[in-house]
Amino acid sequence: MTQDTAHISLAGGNLPLEPNDFVGREADVEELVKLLGVARLVTLCGTGGIGKSRLAVKVATHLAADFPGGVWLVELAEAMRDELIVPRVAAVLGVKAEPSRPLAETLLDALADRQLLLVIDNCESLIDESARFCRALLTISPEVRVLTTSREPLRVAGETVWRVPPLTLPRAAGQEQAAASEAVRLFVDRAKAAARGFALDHNNADEIASLCEALDGMPLAIELAAALCRVLTVEQIHARLRDRFRLLSAGDRTAPARHQTLKATVDWSYQQLKEQERILLRRLAVFTGGWTLDMAERVCDGNGLWAEDVLSVLCGLVDKSLVLADAEVAGETRYRMLETIRQYAAEQLEGSGEEPELRRRHRDHMVEIADRIHQLIVRRPRPTWAEVCPMLVLLDEVQANVWAAVRWSAEAGEPESALHLLVLLRWPTIAGGRFTPADEWLDRLLAATPAVLPTRVRGDALVLRGQVAFGQGDPGKAQDACTEAAELCKTAGLHGPLSGALAILAWVAIYQRRPDRARCLLDEALEAVRRVDDPWHEMVIRAMEGTFALSEGRAKESQRSFEAALAIANGLDNHWAAPVALIGLAQVAWMRGDLAEARSYYEQALEMLKDITAHWQTITCLSGLGRIALAQGDLATARARLIESLRLCRGTGQRLGVARRIETLAQLALAEEDDQRAVRLAGASAAIRHAMSGVVMPSGFGARMEELLQPARARLGDALVAQLWTLGKEMSQEQAVRYALEGEEQADIPLPTGKGPAAAPLTTLTGREWEIAELVARGLSNKAIADELVISPATAARHVANILAKLGFSSRTQVATWVIEHNRV
C-alpha cells in the first residue's frame, strides 16, 4: 500500500481541550511520562470515577512534542458489545478502506513506520477487541506507543499495568495539611466554581478533609460533592453521605450517562460482571475494612459460588478494579473495596435476601479467629512470639470486622455471642489500648439483658469492662464493674475472672492512695490466679505490685517485683508482657536518678513493641524517652519523642494520657524559654484533668505545676501568668492537642471581652502557705507552726492541708523534701 492509496492524516493529533483545571497527580503524570519512554503499551487501570481518562489525556498532552506523528485519542465509552475497534481507530486517524482489502490490514500498514502515541480510552467496553488490536499493532509498528485506560488489564504480552490510585488525602489535621492534599485541592477548586466566595480556611479544613476521605479520594465523587456547595454547606454534604448515591446524582449533563451520577458509574461496572462475580462482590460487602482470601472462602461460599472458585472470581474482581489487593498482612494478601463500591455492594446484598445468613457466618468466623488467637496465647506448651505475632498483626487488620460482628450480634438479639467475642479478645483489647468502642458495646450488652447471660460470660465481661474503664482513666466505673464481677465470681467459684476483678480493684485502691486495701487485694488476686495457673495474669499482678511499691517510694521492692514479672514474661516469650515489666524497671531507674539505665529499659521495650499494636505501652515508652532527653537538655530529641507520644495518645481516647503528655510538653516549652506557651499548656493539662469525674490528682501534680509556673511568674509577672493560665483552661481538649502539636491556636493576650478577671492557677500557694511550707520543711509540728506565727493550731492544720492538696502530696515529708530541693528554706 502507498500513502496515496490509503488516505491518512497523521499529524498533530486530536486531544481535547481540558474543560477545567487538572488538579493534582503531578507525581503520577511525571512517572507515566517516564514510563512511556520505555514501555510500548501502558494500561491505566482503576475503578470507574477514579480519573483514568483525565490522567491519560494529561500525560498525552505532556508527550505531544515527542511524537512527530501526533497524539491521537480513540474513545470507546459508548461502544456497543461485539463492535469492532478497527473502524473507530481508522476514523480517528483518517485511514480510508481500500477495495478488496480488510480495513485492519490497511490501518496496520499505515501505522507501520509512524512515530505516534495512540490513546485508547475505556477499553473495558471492547476488552477482547482492544487486546487483539494492541497485540497486532505492537507486532507491526515499532515506533508506536499505546496508552490505554480500562477497568481491567488487556492481558497482552508487553503490557505494563499502572493502577490509578485515589487522590492523596491529608496526613494530619489542619489547614496546611489539607491544602497539600490532592483530594482537598480538587474539592476546593470545583467548589469555588460552584459557589462564589468559597475558600479553604482553618474553620472548614478538617471537615473538607474528612469529607474527601469518606469519598475515598475518588475524583468523580469529589467533583459531584463539590458541585453541591452551591446549595449546601460542607457539613451538610458530609452528614448526608450515608446515602451517597442519592446525594451525588446531579453531574455534568454533557458527560457520558454512566458518569453523570455516582450510582450510574458503579452500576455500569456491576452490569458488566459475570454472575459469579456479582455474587461474590455483593457477599464481600459483609466485610468492613478488609479481608483475606481465607476469610472470603469461609464466609462467601455456597449457593452458586463454591469455596474452590472464590480465588479465581476474586482475581477477576481485582482485575476489574472493583476489589483492591491492598497489602500483605502476616503472609496473606489483604483485600478491600473503596467505600463507594462497598456501599453499592451492600445495597445489592440487602436486595438479594442473603444478608442475614451472610452476617451470621461473618460473625461466627470472627469468633473463630478470636478463639484461635486466644487458644494460641494460653495453650501449652507456650507458643513462641514468632507464632503469636502474625495472628496479632492479622487481628489489627480485621479489627473493623470485629466491631461489625459485635454490632450485628447486638442488633440481632444475641448479646452472649457478642460478649463472648469481646472476652476472647481481652488481651489484644487491653494491651493494644483498643478501649473505644469496646466501652460502649460492653455497657450496651451488659445493660440489655443481664438475666439471660450465663454467669461466666457476665463475670468475664464485667471484668473486661473494669479493665477498659481503668485504662481510660475512669476508676469509679472500674470499681463499680469489678466489685459486681468479684461478687459474682466468688459465688460461682470462677477464680480466673475473679483474679482479674481483684487486680483492677487493687489498681483503683493504689490510685485512691489506700495502700492497706491495695496490698490486701493484690494478695487475694495473686492467690486466685495461682489456682487457675495463668502465668500471663500472674505477670500482670507482679507488675502491679511493682507499681504499688514504686508509688510508695520503695524502689528496691518495686524492682524485685518488676524483675519477677519480667522473668515470667520472658518465660512466656510474650512481647506484650515483657514491655510492661521493662517500663516498670525504667521508672524505678528514673526514681533512682539513673537516666542511662531508664533509657535502656524504655528502648528495649520499644524494640519489642515495633511489630504489634500496643498503643499504651508505646506511648509510655516514647513519653519516658522524651522526659529523659528533656532532663539531659537534649531538647530536639525531647520534642520529637513527646510529639510522637501525644500524636499516638490523641487517637486512643485517653484523656488522662493526653493531659500527661501536654503537661510534659509544657515543661519542654519552659526549657525552650517559651514561657507563654508553657503556661497555656499547663492550664490546658490541668483543665483536662479537672474535667474528668472521679480522677484523683497524681502525687506531686501541683508541685510540678508550681515548678513550671514559678520561673514564668518571675519573667512574665503574676497578672500575665494568670491570663495565660485561664486561656489554657478555656481551650477544648482538641484545641489543646492541636496547640501542643502545631501551635495553631492564637496566643493573643488579653482575654476576650466580657470575661471575668483572670483566675490564678489552683496550684498557686499563697504567701502565708509558702511561709508555712518553709516551717514544715524545718520539721515544725502544727502546734509549733501556730506558736511561731501566732495563729491557732486549727488554722495551721488547715493551711497544711491546703498545701498538701495544692501540691498533690500525701505527707509532710514530701512537702519538706520539695521545699528543700527548691531552696525555699
Is a pLDDT exceeding 70 seen at residue 484? yes
Range of 176-185, 332-341, 393-402, 661-670 with top mean pLDDT = 661-670
Range of 75-79, 235-239, 514-518, 762-766 with top mean pLDDT = 514-518
Helix (H) / strand (E) element for 335: namely: strand 332-336
Give residue 588's pLDDT: 94
What DSSP designation does 101 have? S
Rg from Cα positions in the chain: 33
Please tell me the distance from the alpha carbon of residue 169 to that of residue 214, in angstroms, as a whole number.
10
Is a pLDDT exceeding 80 seen at residue 439? yes
Is a pLDDT exceeding 50 seen at residue 292? yes
Please tell me the distance from the alpha carbon of residue 153 to that of residue 800, in angstroms, as a whole number.
79
Please tell me the distance from the alpha carbon of residue 249 to that of residue 264, in angstroms, as a whole number.
9
β-partners of residue 378 are none
Nearest C-alpha neighbor of 176 from the set 748, 747, 746, 743: 743
Q: Are 210 and 238 in contact (CB under 8 A)?
A: yes
What DSSP designation does 13 have? B
Taking the alpha carbons of 673, 676, 679, 680 in that order, is the dihedral positive or negative? negative
What DSSP designation does 334 have? E
Beta carbons within 8 Å of 500's beta carbon, 6+ residues apart? 463, 466, 467, 482, 485, 525, 537
Is a pLDDT exceeding 80 seen at residue 677? yes
Give residue 434's pLDDT: 76
- Residue 120: strand, helix, or coil: strand
**pLDDT tens digits for 548-562?**
888 787 889 999 999
Is a pLDDT exceeding 70 seen at residue 635? yes
Please tell me the distance from the alpha carbon of residue 251 to that of residue 219, in angstroms, as a whole number.
12
Give residue 482's pLDDT: 94
Unique residue bearing C-alpha cell 469461609 = 298
Nearest C-alpha neighbor of 169 from the set 180, 155, 154: 180
**pLDDT tens digits for 594-614?**
999 999 999 999 999 887 777
- 345 HSE (CA, 13 A, CB side): 23
Amino acid type, 43: T
Is a pLDDT exceeding 60 seen at residue 317? yes
Give residue 404's pLDDT: 92
Share of the chain above pLDDT 70, in %: 88
Helix (H) / strand (E) element for 239: namely: helix 234-239
**pLDDT tens digits for 777-802?**
778 888 888 877 778 888 888 888 87
- Report, as an integer, the average pLDDT of 114-126: 86
Range of 33-42, 738-747, 757-766, 800-809 with top mean pLDDT = 33-42
**pLDDT tens digits for 10-64?**
456 778 777 778 888 888 889 999 998 889 899 999 887 888 888 988 898 888 8
Please tell me the distance from the alpha carbon of residue 85 to that of residue 146, in angstroms, as a whole number.
14
What the block records as the C-alpha cell of 200 is: 479553604
Is a pLDDT exceeding 80 seen at residue 563? yes
Phi, psi of 115 (to 5 degrees): -110, 95
Give residue 260's pLDDT: 47
Q: Which residue has the higher pLDDT, 103 or 100?
A: 103
State the helix-helix crossing angle for 52-63 and 26-35, rounded to 10 degrees: 60
Is a pLDDT exceeding 80 seen at residue 691? no
Q: Are 221 and 260 in contact (CB under 8 A)?
A: no
Cα torsion 275, 276, 278, 283 to 10°: value is 150
Question: First vs last Cα of the chain: how many Å apart?
Answer: 108
Give residue 254's pLDDT: 44
Is a pLDDT exceeding 80 seen at residue 743? no
β-partners of residue 333 are 328
- Report, as an integer, the average pLDDT of 357-380: 86
Q: How confident is the model at residue 700 (pLDDT cuts 50, 70, 90)?
A: low
3-state secondary structure 780-818: CCHHHHHHHHCCCHHHHHHHHHHHHHHHCCCCHHHHHHH
Is a pLDDT exceeding 60 seen at residue 750? no
Neighbours of 27 (CB within 10 A): 10
Mean pLDDT, the chain, rounded, equals 82
- Residue 277: strand, helix, or coil: helix
β-partners of residue 147 are 42, 119
- Report, as an integer, the average pLDDT of 117-128: 86
Give residue 284's pLDDT: 93
Amino acid type, 157: A
Give residue 764's pLDDT: 67
**pLDDT tens digits for 184-237?**
888 888 888 888 888 888 888 888 888 888 888 888 888 888 888 877 888 888
Is a pLDDT exceeding 70 seen at residue 379? no
What the block records as the C-alpha cell of 513 is: 492512695
Is a pLDDT exceeding 90 seen at residue 571? no
Nearest C-alpha neighbor of 692 from the set 532, 432, 545, 511: 511
Give residue 607's pLDDT: 92
Share of the chain above pLDDT 90, in %: 19
Is a pLDDT exceeding 70 seen at residue 7? no
- Report, as an integer, the average pLDDT of 385-408: 84
